[in-house]
Structure 1
Amino acid sequence: MPPASNPTELARETLKQLAARRIAPTPENYQRIYRELAGTAPETAAAEGVEENLARILESLGSQLPAQAPRLRQLAQAVEARDWETFGSTLGSLVKPQEEAPANWAEIIRELIRQWDLKQLGLTTPRKKEALERVLINFGRNPTVLAQKLAALTRVWAEGASGPSDIKLAPPIPEVPIDRRGAPINVPLVEELPALLAELLAQALREGVLPRLGHVPRLAAQAERLAEQARNARTPEDFAILSQALRQFWIQLELQTEAEAGVLDGLMRLLRLVIENISELLLDDQWLRGQLTVVQDIISRPLNARVIADAEKRFKEVIFKQGTLKHSLNEAKTTLKNLVTVFIERITEMSESTGGYRKKIERYTEILSGTEDLPTLNQILQDILADTRSMHLDMVRSHDELVAARQQVEAAEARIKQLEAELGEISELVYQDYLTGTLNRRGLEDAFEREFARAERHGLPVSIALLDVDHFKRLNDTYGHEAGDQALVHLAKVVKDILRPTDVVARYGGEEFVIILPDTTAEDAVKIMTRLQRNLTKHFFLHDNQRILITFSAGVAQREGRESAESMIARADEALYRAKQAGRNRVFLAKPLQSSAG
């Protein structure tokens, strides 16, 4: 073996040779083997300061071999003090061959896995992972000691403690928790944690669970007792009893929740059947049909308290106005019925009067045929004239009354038509999109008819934009459907604030909106939508104090000739698809009508 030149390597090899040759570790033997390995004379070795190098080497080995650090430190101190007797005894114990049995790693790993899977009081999987990592970091270099510490760790887990009590580890550097503003949070002492957790549990039961059990007095009383029991818990025995009671309570609560969910589903199904039945029975009552449409739309989706509250508020307004108008409408119809009754009575009176006059004429005819007396004939003539004059007056009076009745009937009919028109206009409130306040499909159809007629009358261009929110499904999945609804409300508000008063905004379905831009060419419409995109990026959507950027893609189409609204939307939808494919947050112009048709 070639001689070593590094003093550290020489000293390490010297110790190995002493142990291998079973030579007493005296200073003389150490110097002799050291000189032999170094190939130097005795005086040269002494000059190099063997003792100093040996002490330094022993200290270095202590940092590399933590398990042997105490004995190596004793060796270094013995060298510095020239206490060769202590040095020899310590070195002998250090190099003494180990007679301990090898560790049974199969059994250690099997027990470790079994304890890892078991559920112990006060031990969570993250805490087990932390304890295991600390053992591996501190004792991973010494398999014998590692086996001992892992066995001790599994024993501690089996006893239900929180970590290896017999394992002495370097304490971790404490981390001071901070809040969102960066301010430090006061952390309670370990001995204060049980009382604090008990108080938090009691507060959760009283403020989070108890208010939702008002309709179940039995569970409400049980939750109140558990809250009081949690607040008074201090010892492990108290917490064990509380844990058992809580398990039983959660089982009962879960059963109650399942029962209520079944009742709610049954009521929803029953409500759907009732609405479908009413819709089938309705013939031409558009006022009620519109309200039923809104209810069907609400119950077809996951229930949302805010949406239901908005619909309820709008229904109350519509129902109040409808009630007022229907009262006037009923009064007008009653007046009309009375006028028709008067009309019939007058016709009947005229018929009776005419019948009586005919009978008188017949009687006068019989008298005339049987008499030749001039005075009698003169009297008959006077009676006939008097009856004729009376019948004429009756006819004139009846005619005047019938004319007045007809005028009243016409006025009543006009009033009815006016009230029905007002009632229809009020009912249109139900057809607005209940979430965003924009027009819905029916309102959009009316707006198309109005704007198309205006454009044709004045020869002006009209364009539309079909926009769709980018990654809307991801937003719903990440933050929830309520956040998605709020994002649509935010988008509709920004659009209304930016666009002109003459522009029309309608919710086309889901996260899609149609914007009608009167007196606007396609090129100007693209500029308007691009400006709208820029403004939307400046107005962040806030959800739980978190700023979320919302973007949209859009397709723009200008009406060609007497093109239908369906055709324009189809061309804009094709342009919208190309905008999505190009990377989203873009505005694309639709292809010409002939090109898109071809």
Structure 2
Amino acid sequence: MSELKNPSEIAREALKRLAARQLAPTPANYQACYNEIANLPNVAPFPEPSLRQLAAALVARNEAQEKALAVLDAEIGRRSWHGVQEALIAFTNAAGGPGKEAGTIFVPNPLPALALPKDFTAKLARLVEGVLPALGDDNPRIPEMASDFLAALRQPELDLPCVQDKLASFSHQISFAAEEQVEIRDALLNLLHLIIENIGELVLDDSWLKGQVDGLLAAVAPPLTLRHLDDMGRRLRDVMAKQSEAKNRTVVAQEELRQMLAAFIERLSTMSESSGTFQGRLEESAERIGKVTRIEELAPLLREVIAATRNMAEDTAQARDQLKGLQDKVLATEAELVQLHLELDSASAMARHDPLTDALNRKGLDEALEREIASVRRKETPLAVCLLDIDNFKRLNDSLGHAVGDQALIYLADLARKCMRSTDTLARYGGEEFVILMPDTPLELGIETMVRLQRELTRNLFMSGKEKLLITFSAGVAQLATGETGKEAIRRADQAMYLAKRSGKNRVLGG
């Protein structure tokens, strides 16, 4: 085959064979394919790592051996078998020393057993198993290589060079897969942004979808979290239901308007016809009056004109009343459509969020609790549930007004969000009460987190006009127990919060 192809053709054929066999594009695999196509012997690759381990295990006993080890290191770097052999011979021949004859062959200490800590190999195996789902299933070679690597890693006698080779091949393969997944995600996000922005552009009444479009754009902005996407999905389902209701009512209203317009046109036609008849009768009466020769003949004609005029007046009044009724129905339908639009505008924000603080409301909290508890049961991880209550909030409302109280609630919610992780959940539980869900957080860490939030409130005073106000809160923290419901955990946190209030306020206690 080498006579039929030049080196560049053999190289291209080797790359095709790598792809056809779904082999990792490592130098060793490429060399094997190249040698196979070129009918060349497939010599094993130079084992530089193993030779360096051997050189590291050799102990120099004199100056000559030190020089031999330096030569050995250089020859390994040049990947020269002959040089390695000469250096090893020189090292053994230089083993003569005190009490030993020159030329005596020195047998070095045996290579130390190569082993990794069991917990390290177990963690490495879990890392590989955790990475696999994120790489997708487009390339069947990846799970196959992962299986080979895990099998080598779990052998009773660990073959470290073999594990290193398999890890290198696997990591090289997943680097391509990871890059592809990132590109796919970025492309999908860009496409989603375009779709959302085009929806906003195509809607004639921007107020209809402004809240939904803004929310979607915020949800798909990096960093992405499943929590934000799930929440946005639920909000959109509510909005879609409201839109469906509005659409059905709009169709009915349009049909009513169409019928009213048809009746209006028909009534105009009738009025026009009546006017034409009345005009004709007036002209006929005028012509007959012109032919009257006696006064007795004039009275019947006048009675006919008066009767026709009366009928025309009655028809006109009736038409006016009917048109007024149609106008009233049109105005009522328009008002109903405006109200539907207003309800739709606020549907997304009001579905699961508190309109004042933009934290979750009670309905949103119930769904978040259900989701977090399911995650706790599945992953067996802790969940800290915190309930905080602003101290002396009634006094703040009474002294400065409810508007200042509302601003204080907004201020606390905004500061809490800045101190929270992206995985935490903030919900308004009552008037001045908030609940914070902290997944993967034990009780002690949950208490520390709330104490840090108290310190942030102390450092960042609330501004009411030009007046600086110190806002504090008392909080209780409970860790979800086995078999416990979310409401029961909140109740324990509420009891701890009550004790914190009784203990002097501005405290955090565990429940």
Q: What TM-score, normalized by structure 1, do the two folds share? A: 0.45
Over 3 Å counting, the alpha-carbon distance change for 1:264 and 1:386 in structure 2 is same
Matched with 1:290 is 211
Contact 1:357/1:387 (8 A) holds in 2: yes
Matches within 5 A, 1:44-59: none
Over 3 Å counting, the alpha-carbon distance change for 1:300 and 1:221 in structure 2 is closer
Contact 1:318/1:427 (8 A) holds in 2: yes
**The residue matched to 2:113 in structure 1 has which SS?**
coil
Contact 2:149/2:163 (8 A) holds in 1: no
Contact 2:121/2:153 (8 A) holds in 1: yes
The correspondence for 1:318, drawn from 239, 242, 253, is 239
Matches within 5 A, 1:466-545: 466-467=411-412, 484-487=421-424, 489=425, 492-493=426-427, 496=428, 501=431, 503=432, 543-545=440-442
Separation of aligned partners in 2, 1:349 and 1:361:
18
Could you give the per-residue CA deviations for residues 110-163 of structure 1, whole angstroms, max 9, x where no partner exists? 769969x99xxxxxxxxxxxxxxxxxxxxxxxxx99xxxxxx99x66xx86437
- 1:219 paired with 2:141, answer yes
Matches within 5 A, 1:443-462: 462=404
- 1:162 paired with 2:97, answer no
What amino acid sits opposite 1:437 in the alignment? L
Separation of aligned partners in 2, 1:221 and 1:468:
45
- 1:107 paired with 2:29, answer no
The correspondence for 1:267, drawn from 182, 188, 209, is 188
Over 3 Å counting, the alpha-carbon distance change for 1:558 and 1:309 in structure 2 is closer
Stretch of structure 1 that moved more, 387-396 or 217-226 = 217-226
What amino acid sits opposite 1:162 in the alignment? A
Bigger-Rg structure (1/2) = 1
Matched with 1:390 is 311
What amino acid sits opposite 1:543 in the alignment? D
Identity value in percent: 23
Task: State the shift of 1:276 in Å.
Answer: 4.0
Over 3 Å counting, the alpha-carbon distance change for 1:428 and 1:212 in structure 2 is closer
Contact 1:540/1:547 (8 A) holds in 2: no
Task: State the shift of 1:261 in Å.
Answer: 0.9
Could you give the per-residue CA deviations for residues 17-61 of structure 1, whole angstroms, max 9, x where no partner exists? xxxxxxxxxxxxxxxxxxxxxxxxxxxxxxxxxxxxxxxxxxxxx
Matched with 2:43 is none
- 1:415 paired with 2:336, answer yes
Matched with 1:403 is 324
Matches within 5 A, 1:70-469: 103-104=62-63, 107=66, 161-162=112-113, 208=130, 211-212=133-134, 214-219=136-141, 222-223=144-145, 226=148, 230=152, 244-280=165-201, 284-372=205-293, 377-429=298-350, 436-437=359-360, 462-463=404-405, 464-465=407-408, 466-467=411-412
Over 3 Å counting, the alpha-carbon distance change for 1:259 and 1:199 in structure 2 is same
**The residue matched to 1:547 in structure 2 has which SS?**
helix
Separation of aligned partners in 2, 1:540 and 1:395:
71
Separation of aligned partners in 1, 2:158 and 2:304:
123
**The residue matched to 2:444 in structure 1 has which SS?**
strand
What amino acid sits opposite 2:207 in the alignment? Q
Task: State the shift of 1:257 in Å.
Answer: 1.3
Could you give the per-residue CA deviations for residues 247-269 of structure 1, whole angstroms, max 9, x where no partner exists? 33332221121122122223323
What amino acid sits opposite 2:421 in the alignment? G
Matched with 2:87 is none
Over 3 Å counting, the alpha-carbon distance change for 1:359 and 1:461 in structure 2 is closer
Separation of aligned partners in 2, 1:364 and 1:261:
91
Over 3 Å counting, the alpha-carbon distance change for 1:265 and 1:110 in structure 2 is farther
Task: State the shift of 1:197 in Å.
Answer: 9.8
Contact 1:321/1:426 (8 A) holds in 2: yes
Separation of aligned partners in 1, 2:444 and 2:258:
64
Task: State the shift of 1:272 in Å.
Answer: 3.1
Task: State the shift of 1:303 in Å.
Answer: 0.8
Separation of aligned partners in 1, 2:61 and 2:463:
86
Contact 1:201/1:227 (8 A) holds in 2: no
**The residue matched to 1:484 in structure 2 has which SS?**
coil
**The residue matched to 2:421 in structure 1 has which SS?**
helix
Task: State the shift of 1:220 in Å.
Answer: 5.4
Task: State the shift of 1:308 in Å.
Answer: 0.9
What amino acid sits opposite 2:318 in the alignment? R
Over 3 Å counting, the alpha-carbon distance change for 1:333 and 1:362 in structure 2 is same
In structure 2, list runs of 5 or more residues that go unmatched.
1-59, 78-97, 100-105, 363-396, 472-504, 507-511
* Residues matched between the structures, number: 340
**The residue matched to 2:224 in structure 1 has which SS?**
coil
Separation of aligned partners in 1, 2:416 and 2:403:
33
Matched with 2:10 is none
Separation of aligned partners in 2, 1:411 and 1:468:
41
Contact 2:282/2:305 (8 A) holds in 1: yes
Over 3 Å counting, the alpha-carbon distance change for 1:331 and 1:382 in structure 2 is same
Q: Root-mean-square deviation (CA), in Å?
A: 5.4
Contact 2:250/2:337 (8 A) holds in 1: yes
Could you give the per-residue CA deviations for residues 310-335 of structure 1, whole angstroms, max 9, x where no partner exists? 11112112221232133223322432
Task: State the shift of 1:460 in Å.
Answer: 7.6
**The residue matched to 1:485 in structure 2 has which SS?**
coil
Contact 1:318/1:426 (8 A) holds in 2: yes
Separation of aligned partners in 1, 2:271 and 2:224:
66
Separation of aligned partners in 2, 1:372 and 1:269:
94
What amino acid sits opposite 2:138 in the alignment? V
What amino acid sits opposite 2:324 in the alignment? V
In structure 1, list runs of 5 or more residues that go unmatched.
1-100, 119-143, 146-151, 164-189, 440-454, 476-482, 506-535, 560-567, 577-585, 588-598
Matched with 2:509 is none
Task: State the shift of 1:504 in Å.
Answer: 9.1
Separation of aligned partners in 2, 1:104 and 1:315:
79
Separation of aligned partners in 2, 1:371 and 1:412:
56
